[in-house]
Chains A and B, each alone.
Chain A
Amino acid sequence: LLGGELTRDRKWPWQVSVHYSGFHVCGGSILNAYWVLTAAHCFARGKKLQTFDMYVGITNLEVANRHTQWLEINQVIIHPTFEMFHPVGGDVALVQLKSPIVFSDFVLPICLPPSNLNLHNMSCWTTGWGMISPQGETGKELLEAQLPLIPKFQCQLLYGLTSYLLPEMLCAADIKNMKNVCEGDSGGPLVCKLNETWLQIGIVSWGRGCAQPLYPGVFANVSYFLSWIRYYMETVPNPPQILPSLSSSLRNNLSTLLTIMGSLLVL
């Protein structure tokens, strides 16, 4: 984040750090115990799923605490329109975890917005561990920035004819105070508060550099992908869990029962 400020733990408990080969590459957000929402372009072709790691309950990338959880990816579902109508269109991915996240004050899910949310005059924030300068410096601490939403028409004017915006995209940046998302923030959440509850309205997707002339950050508009997100979260079964070792008494009872059943079948 350019112009971001240090945050405190527990303030953004849904933040996820996506690591590849041991390095932070993208942000993400917790939707529920098994599902993380992030950007499709974080999983560029050719990258092996086994080489990714997910971390929750973390604010300093170099300091794990007792709330930090390391989770493995079970599968990644990329939106079917990814790169179809735009070089970074449909930039949404759902990551299913192999084991469930354990929630605490430091690890909580973010809410999905209603489909008809009026974004006018909402106060929105984004968080991430992305670059903190146009020269590419990165920080280890999670940063936060309040980013006003920029009307689509104005955003398209700022981008001129070089980059077109799809209806499923939204723009946010604090041009006056030079606050913007940057490389490494991709996949992270743009959240707005409504009636004391935070809703995720955007996923950090693309932009042009992250400094002067300041081109606003472009986000995937979560409302456009709601039915797709809900469909997969509701239909894909949770991955099989490695059963904890059965207690000996339970194992004995089980074997006795199976023996009886076996002998009954023989009779």
Chain B
Amino acid sequence: VSRRHPKDQANSPSSDVACGQPVLQGK
């Protein structure tokens, strides 16, 4: 598992990602 590097901060998460809505919906 790669340790997170500060460079990753560049694409650090947008805080407005939708919660509770997985891309893969259980069938």
Task: Note whether A and B form a binding pair.
Answer: yes
Which A residues lie at the B interface, using CB under 8 A? 8-14, 32-33, 55, 64, 68-71, 99-103, 105, 108-112, 191, 196-199, 241-245
**How many pairs of residues, A versus B, come closer than 8 Å at their CB atoms?**
77
11 contacts between A and B (CB under 8 A): A9-B24, A11-B22, A11-B24, A70-B4, A100-B9, A100-B12, A103-B13, A112-B19, A196-B21, A198-B22, A199-B20
The 4 closest A-B pairs by CB, nearest first: A111-B20, A10-B24, A198-B20, A111-B19
Q: List the A side residues contacting B18 at CB < 8 Å.
A: 108
Place the interface of chain B in its size category.
20 to 34
**Contacting residues of chain B (1-27) with chain A, CB-CB under 8 angstroms:** 1-4, 6-15, 17-24, 26
The closest CB in chain B to the CB of A12 belongs to B22
User: Which applies to chain A's interface (DSSP): helix, strand, loop or mixed?
Assistant: loop
Cα distance, A243 to B7, chains bound together (Å): 9
User: Judging by beta carbons under 8 Å apart, are A242 and B6 in contact?
Assistant: yes
Q: List the A side residues contacting B4 at CB < 8 Å.
A: 69-71, 99, 102
Measured CB to CB, the closest approach of chain B to A119, in angstroms, equals 16
Q: List the B side residues contacting A111 at CB < 8 Å.
A: 19-20
Measured CB to CB, the closest approach of chain A to B11, in angstroms, equals 6
Q: List the A side residues contacting B24 at CB < 8 Å.
A: 8-11, 105
User: Judging by beta carbons under 8 Å apart, are A10 and B23 in contact?
Assistant: yes
Q: Please pick, from A9, A11, A70, A197, the residue contacting B20 in the complex, using a CB distance under 8 A.
A: A197
Given contacts A14-B19, A111-B19, A197-B21, 12 further A-B contacts (CB under 8 A): A10-B24, A11-B26, A13-B22, A64-B1, A68-B1, A69-B1, A109-B20, A198-B21, A244-B6, A244-B7, A244-B9, A245-B6
